[in-house]
């Protein structure tokens, strides 16, 4: 969107705020604007992955028609000019007047209003993947051109859009006899995705094929212009995907002839629909691994991939682990399997699980993890009995699988012992930053590293710590703001490379939680504006380059006290104003004045005070940093707004939130 236009929008909103437009007008103003202003909020970014999310949104709507039994064929076509078409032979998007916007057709509303494809509000669909994302109106907003054809009641209708705005009215192109359904043809907007952005044939091909595995009844036809296949000659110009064997076929394709531990794949689908949804699964084990990975688990909800895993995967793991343990007990191997964990059982597994449930909830930074707890029960209950039968009916396979899991457990324990020794010896070899005061404990269990602001605080922290389990890394001033820095700049930054060396970790894809040299990473900065800024810079760094550390719940903030309260020979500490008020009420008798001292910074505290208030696990409080999975898109956007380059977003954020700042207490 042109810069000037963006300012206009702000001016309009500001003007609106000042000249009290009614909310209705602002509502009308917005329409799809928020989508173009912050695409990251809706499709997780504007990179290649986000671009292909547009295709997912469109085909998911066709898949919903197929899963609901109204469509049997979907056609996907990538043209030489970069336009992508998806067509189904379903009922066709309704084109009558929309109940809420009588002047507009249902089609126009669904294409131009956010979240208007609301399939849950109607009983048109039992389950829907389409609303897992954000709906086709988002695709419309982010396309410089989009046209939709609806063949319904033997009439063909056409409507065109540019960047989400209708170009003319819906057109009736007359009678059509041999066709029904919906076709969407669109081109991603270079203003959003950049001039070089283009759909990749290989990715579209793989995504379309996966959909066919997930809905055995549907046939998906692929067509691609030869110009789009230059980079990937192994992708054909045309193909037909139709897999009656469902996930079992999918898994066979993935295995591509790999050796298996058991004689065959264990697969199935839930029998009766208990009203809680239905499940399909396929699992086998291979000693060859899957490329880089030891195991291969792919899960889906209403045909939508859930790369972040979730409760359905947990249900599968539970059923397999409990089933194998139960078999071991019956076979008199219970003792030998007591140390076997679900990770050991799933090591080498190639597993697919696909659930169909009514109201899926997704979590994770890109909303790609299923969080419905009923999905775990649904899958475990569906898989457990058939798995018990599978094991009982082929004891040879069952024993092979059991031995496999026991070997994995033994190996894991050996590896952990070796790693602990390596860690300690590596510390000697590893060029650790000189300023790191490391802890003496061998293993990482229950050890922690305090990242401390400034040398003076670092000094008293080194005296206050427990040498056996607590390491101190003093930082000089503010670290680089990674939100607006290139990877090259980040890798060249001395403070950040010292931090990574001390933690023993790599960045981004190189990050392995197992490499972490401590169990907890604690940010310990002054409780003032500078300290807060340094903490924000560090948290931004960890969020962007080692999110796994936060998701594992291993990043913390120390909570140094703001106040020291003394009455006679009683001294206690308060971490903030509210805590001080509470302690004044509950901890002191009426007799004698209570001295209130305020700590300006960590350096002001003597080691004994720092230890008891902030570092000693027995007496301190730590705040664990978490990503708000409920609405992680907000986290994504908030980090971008507060730490990113687009100052106008910060301006708007401060404007919107300024009124909540309490200036009285300054
Ligand atoms: C290429 C993309 O989007 N296909 C679609 C339908 C069919 C219906 C529908 C869609 C909003 C609230 C229902 C028709 N008749 N392909 C597609 N096919 N949306 S999107 O309805 C959306 C309404 O609930 C449809 C009867 N019921 C539903």
Whether the predicted pLDDT of 120 surpasses 80? no
What lies within 8 Å, CB to CB, of 44 at 6+ separation is 50, 53, 365, 366, 367, 633, 636
The alpha carbon of 125 and the centre of ligand 1 are apart by a number of angstroms equal to 9
Task: Name the DSSP class of 498.
Answer: H
Q: Is residue 347 part of a domain?
A: yes
Closest listed residue to residue 536, CA positions, set 593, 478, 497: 478
**Distance (Å, whole) CA 487 – CA 309:** 28
Domain final residue, candidates 197, 213, 241: 241
pLDDT band with cut points at 50, 70 and 90 for residue 20: very low
pLDDT confidence of residue 73: 98
526 catalytic? Reply is yes
Whether the predicted pLDDT of 376 surpasses 90? yes
The more confidently predicted of residues 106 and 590 is 106
Please, what sign has the CA dihedral across residues 457, 463, 468, 469?
negative
Closest listed residue to residue 350, CA positions, set 252, 441, 446, 434: 252
Residue in this structure with the two tokens 């002191």, named with its chain if needed: 588
574 pairs with which residues across the strands? 563
Pairing state between β 448-453 and 369-370: unpaired
Q: What is the mean pLDDT of the chain?
A: 86
- CATH code, domain carrying 73: 3.30.565.10
**Structure tokens given for 197:** 């952005």
- Regarding the beta carbon of 504 and ligand 1, being less than 6 Å apart is answered no
Q: Is residue 285 part of a domain?
A: yes
Q: Is residue 577 part of a domain?
A: no
- Regarding the beta carbon of 520 and ligand 1, being less than 6 Å apart is answered no
pLDDT band with cut points at 50, 70 and 90 for residue 117: low
Same domain, 254 and 216: no
Q: Which of 4-13, 511-520, 575-584 has the lowest mean pLDDT?
A: 4-13
pLDDT confidence of residue 441: 86
566 pairs with which residues across the strands? 571, 595
Same domain, 255 and 367: yes
379, with CB counted inside 10 A (0-12, 13-18, 19+), is: buried
**Structure tokens given for 404:** 């496999």
Instruction: Tell me if 555 sits within 8 A of 483, measured CB to CB.
Output: no
Q: Is residue 441 part of a domain?
A: no
Same domain, 260 and 230: no
What is the atom index within ligand 1 of the atom nearest the CA of 116? 11
**Distance (Å, whole) CA 411 – CA 37:** 51
pLDDT band with cut points at 50, 70 and 90 for residue 531: confident
pLDDT confidence of residue 240: 98
Same domain, 262 and 173: no
- Regarding the beta carbon of 117 and ligand 1, being less than 6 Å apart is answered yes
Whether the predicted pLDDT of 392 surpasses 90? yes
What is the atom index within ligand 1 of the atom nearest the CA of 94? 14
Helix pair angle (395-429, 311-330), 10° resolution: 110
Give the helix/strand (H/E) hosting 370.
Answer: strand 369-370
Instruction: Tell me if 236 sits within 8 A of 228, measured CB to CB.
Output: no
**Structure tokens given for 654:** 């401060």
401, with CB counted inside 10 A (0-12, 13-18, 19+), is: buried
* Count of domains for the chain: 2
- Regarding the beta carbon of 61 and ligand 1, being less than 6 Å apart is answered yes
pLDDT confidence of residue 635: 67
Whether the predicted pLDDT of 22 surpasses 50? no
Average pLDDT over residues 304-327: 94
- Regarding the beta carbon of 460 and ligand 1, being less than 6 Å apart is answered no
Residue in this structure with the two tokens 């931090």, named with its chain if needed: 499
Options 12, 30, 361, 530, the catalytic residue = 530
What is the atom index within ligand 1 of the atom nearest the CA of 122? 24
pLDDT band with cut points at 50, 70 and 90 for residue 4: very low
The more confidently predicted of residues 404 and 662 is 404
**Distance (Å, whole) CA 51 – CA 117:** 20
Whether the predicted pLDDT of 30 surpasses 70? no
pLDDT confidence of residue 7: 42
Q: Is residue 181 part of a domain?
A: yes
- Please tell me the residue having the least CA distance from ligand 1 atom 8: 93
Among left, alpha and beta (phi > 0; psi -120 to 50; other), residue 240 is: beta
pLDDT confidence of residue 129: 60
How confident is the model over 598-654, as pLDDT tens digits? 888 887 888 998 998 999 998 888 898 887 654 545 566 667 777 877 777 676 666
Pairing state between β 219-224 and 73-78: parallel
The alpha carbon of 92 and the centre of ligand 1 are apart by a number of angstroms equal to 6
pLDDT confidence of residue 488: 86
What is the atom index within ligand 1 of the atom nearest the CA of 70? 7
Q: Which of 148-152, 214-218, 473-477 has the lowest mean pLDDT?
A: 473-477
Same domain, 269 and 233: no
Whether the predicted pLDDT of 345 surpasses 90? yes
What is the atom index within ligand 1 of the atom nearest the CA of 117? 11
Q: What angle do CA 650, 113, 13 make, to 5 degrees?
A: 35
- CATH code, domain carrying 328: 3.30.230.10
pLDDT confidence of residue 476: 84
Same domain, 106 and 232: yes
pLDDT band with cut points at 50, 70 and 90 for residue 12: very low
pLDDT band with cut points at 50, 70 and 90 for residue 511: confident
The alpha carbon of 182 and the centre of ligand 1 are apart by a number of angstroms equal to 8
Q: Is residue 118 part of a domain?
A: yes
pLDDT confidence of residue 434: 78
**Distance (Å, whole) CA 475 – CA 321:** 45
- Regarding the beta carbon of 122 and ligand 1, being less than 6 Å apart is answered yes
**Distance (Å, whole) CA 571 – CA 387:** 62
pLDDT confidence of residue 415: 81
Q: Ligand 1 pocket: which of 64, 74, 93, 95 to mutate (most atoms <8 Å of CB)?
A: 93
- Regarding the beta carbon of 633 and ligand 1, being less than 6 Å apart is answered no
**Structure tokens given for 642:** 């507060």
Same domain, 147 and 82: yes
Q: Ligand 1 pocket: which of 90, 121, 134 to mutate (most atoms <8 Å of CB)?
A: 90
- Regarding the beta carbon of 88 and ligand 1, being less than 6 Å apart is answered yes
Same domain, 255 and 192: no
Q: Ligand 1 pocket: which of 91, 127, 181 to mutate (most atoms <8 Å of CB)?
A: 91
- Regarding the beta carbon of 470 and ligand 1, being less than 6 Å apart is answered no
pLDDT band with cut points at 50, 70 and 90 for residue 181: very high
The alpha carbon of 87 and the centre of ligand 1 are apart by a number of angstroms equal to 12
How confident is the model over 468-478, as pLDDT tens digits? 999 999 988 78
Q: Is residue 485 part of a domain?
A: no
pLDDT band with cut points at 50, 70 and 90 for residue 269: very high
The more confidently predicted of residues 161 and 519 is 161
Whether the predicted pLDDT of 119 surpasses 70? no
Percent of the chain at pLDDT > 90 equals 53
pLDDT band with cut points at 50, 70 and 90 for residue 5: very low
Domain final residue, candidates 360, 389, 411: 411
Same domain, 221 and 253: no
- SS3 track for 514-563: HHCCCCEEEEECCCCHHHHHHHHHHHHHHHHHCHHHHHCCCEEEECCCCE
Same domain, 265 and 235: no
Q: Is residue 583 part of a domain?
A: no
Highest mean pLDDT among 316-330, 530-544, 591-605, 617-631: 316-330
Whether the predicted pLDDT of 663 surpasses 70? no
Domain final residue, candidates 411, 433, 467: 411
**Distance (Å, whole) CA 162 – CA 148:** 12
Strand order in the sheet with 595-598: 570-574, 563-567, 595-598
DSSP string spanning 565-621?
EEETTEEEEESSHHHHHHHHHHT--SSSPPEEEE---GGGS-HHHHIIIII-TTT--
Instruction: Tell me if 96 sits within 8 A of 109, measured CB to CB.
Output: no
pLDDT band with cut points at 50, 70 and 90 for residue 27: very low
- Regarding the beta carbon of 58 and ligand 1, being less than 6 Å apart is answered yes
Please, what sign has the CA dihedral across residues 535, 540, 545, 546?
positive
Same domain, 159 and 288: no
pLDDT confidence of residue 10: 37
The more confidently predicted of residues 632 and 381 is 381
How much helix, strand and coil, in percent to the nearest 5, is found in the chain?
45, 20, 35
**Distance (Å, whole) CA 511 – CA 545:** 8
The alpha carbon of 387 and the centre of ligand 1 are apart by a number of angstroms equal to 38
pLDDT confidence of residue 350: 97
Q: Give residue 397's domain range.
A: 247-411
Average pLDDT over residues 227-243: 95
Same domain, 51 and 177: yes
453 catalytic? Reply is yes
Q: Which of 9-18, 394-403, 617-626, 635-644 has the lowest mean pLDDT?
A: 9-18
The alpha carbon of 629 and the centre of ligand 1 are apart by a number of angstroms equal to 30
């Amino acid at each position: 969107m042109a810069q000037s236009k963006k300012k206009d929008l702000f001016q309009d909103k500001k003007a609106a705020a000042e000249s009290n437009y009614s909310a209705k007008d602002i509502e009308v103003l917005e329409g799809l604007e928020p989508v173009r202003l912050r695409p990251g909020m809706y499709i997780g970014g504007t990179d290649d992955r986000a671009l292909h999310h547009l295709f997912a949104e469109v085909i998911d709507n066709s898949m919903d028609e197929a899963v609901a039994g109204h469509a049997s064929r979907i056609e996907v076509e990538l043209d030489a000019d970069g336009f992508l078409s998806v067509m189904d032979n379903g009922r066709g998007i309704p084109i009558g007047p929309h109940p809420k916007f009588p002047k507009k057709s249902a089609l126009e509303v669904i294409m131009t209003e956010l979240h208007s494809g609301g399939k849950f509000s109607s009983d048109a669909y039992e389950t829907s993947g389409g609303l897992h994302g954000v709906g086709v109106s988002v695709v419309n907003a982010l396309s410089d051109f989009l046209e939709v054809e609806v063949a319904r009641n033997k009439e063909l209708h056409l409507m065109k859009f540019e960047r989400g705005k209708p170009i003319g009215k819906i057109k009736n192109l007359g009678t059509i006899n041999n066709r029904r359904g919906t076709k969407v043809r669109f081109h991603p907007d270079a203003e959003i995705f950049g001039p070089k952005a283009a759909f990749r044939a290989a990715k579209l091909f793989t995504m379309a094929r996966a959909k066919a595995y997930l809905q055995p009844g549907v046939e998906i036809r692929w067509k691609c212009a030869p110009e789009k296949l230059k980079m990937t000659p192994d992708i054909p110009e045309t193909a037909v995907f139709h897999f009656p064997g469902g996930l079992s076929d999918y898994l066979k394709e993935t295995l591509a002839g790999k050796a298996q531990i058991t004689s065959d794949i264990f697969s199935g689908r839930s029998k009766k629909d208990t009203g809680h949804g239905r499940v399909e699964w396929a699992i086998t084990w291979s000693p060859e691994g899957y490329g880089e990975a030891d195991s291969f688990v792919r899960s889906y909800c209403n045909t939508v991939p859930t790369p972040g895993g979730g409760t359905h995967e947990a249900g599968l793991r539970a059923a397999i682990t409990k089933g194998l343990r139960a078999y071991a007990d019956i076979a008199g191997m219970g003792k030998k399997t007591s140390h076997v964990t679900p990770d050991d059982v799933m090591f080498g597994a190639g597993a697919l699980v696909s659930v169909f449930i009514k109201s899926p909830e997704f979590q994770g930074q890109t909303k790609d993890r299923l969080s419905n707890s009923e999905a775990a029960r649904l899958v475990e209950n569906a898989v457990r009995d058939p798995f018990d039968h599978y094991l009982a009916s082929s004891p040879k396979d069952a024993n092979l699988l059991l031995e496999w899991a026991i070997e994995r457990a033994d190996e894991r324990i050996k590896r952990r012992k070796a790693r602990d020794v390596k860690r300690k010896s590596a510390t000697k070899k590893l060029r650790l930053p000189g300023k790191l005061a490391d802890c003496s404990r061998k293993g990482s269990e229950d050890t922690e590293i305090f990242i401390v602001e400034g040398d003076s605080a670092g000094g008293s922290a080194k005296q206050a710590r427990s040498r056996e389990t607590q390491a101190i890394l003093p930082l000089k001033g503010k670290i680089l703001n990674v939100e607006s820095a290139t990877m090259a700049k980040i890798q060249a930054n001395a403070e950040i490379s010292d931090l990574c060396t001390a933690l023993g970790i790599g960045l981004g894809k190189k990050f392995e939680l197992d490499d972490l040299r401590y169990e907890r990473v604690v940010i310990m900065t002054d409780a003032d504006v500078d300290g807060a800024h340094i903490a924000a810079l560090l948290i931004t760094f960890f969020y962007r380059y080692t999110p796994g550390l936060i998701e594992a719940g291993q990043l913390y903030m120390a909570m140094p006290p703001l106040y020291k309260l003394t009455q006679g020979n009683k001294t206690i500490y308060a971490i903030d104003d509210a805590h001080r008020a509470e302690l004044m009420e509950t901890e002191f008798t009426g007799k004698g004045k209570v001295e209130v001292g305020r700590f300006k910074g960590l350096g002001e505290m003597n080691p004994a005070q720092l230890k008891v208030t902030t570092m000693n696990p027995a007496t301190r409080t730590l705040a664990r940093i978490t990503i708000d999975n409920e609405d992680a898109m907000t986290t994504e956007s908030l980090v971008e707004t507060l730490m990113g380059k687009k100052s106008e977003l910060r301006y708007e954020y401060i404007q919107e939130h300024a009124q909540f700042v309490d200036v009285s207490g300054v």
